[in-house]
C-alpha cells in the first residue's frame, strides 16, 4: 500500500475512533460535527451507528455533566 494511502487510512481510523468515543461519552452529534469540521451532519453520523435512545441518553449525560460544573 502506498504511503499516502496508508496515511489517509490512518487519519480516517483516527477520526472514526475519536467520533465513536465522543458519542459514547455523551457528546451531542452536532458538537461532534463541529469538532470534526464536517459541513453535513450526515457525514458525522456516518462514522457510527447511533440509535435514537443512545443519542438521547448521551445528550442527557452531557447536559448533566455541564450542569455539575456550574
Number of independent structural domains in the chain: 1
Instruction: Quickly state the pLDDT bin for 68 (edges 50, 70, 90).
Output: very high
Domain span including residue 9: 3-69
pLDDT in tens, 4-50: 545 655 666 778 888 888 887 888 888 989 988 999 999 888 877 55
| CA atoms of 16 and 18, how far apart (whole Å) | 6
Q: Is the pTM of this model over 0.85?
A: no
pLDDT for 67 equals 92
Contact yes or no for 38/25 (Cβ under 8 A): no
pLDDT at 64 exceeding the cut of 90: yes
Amino acid at each position: 500500500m502506498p504511503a499516502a494511502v496508508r496515511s489517509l487510512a490512518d487519519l480516517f481510523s483516527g477520526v472514526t475512533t475519536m467520533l465513536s468515543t465522543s458519542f459514547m461519552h455523551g457528546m451531542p452529534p452536532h458538537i461532534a460535527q463541529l469538532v470534526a469540521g464536517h459541513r453535513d451532519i450526515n457525514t458525522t453520523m456516518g462514522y457510527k451507528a447511533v440509535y435514537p435512545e443512545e443519542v438521547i441518553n448521551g445528550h442527557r449525560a452531557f447536559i448533566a455533566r455541564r450542569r455539575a460544573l456550574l
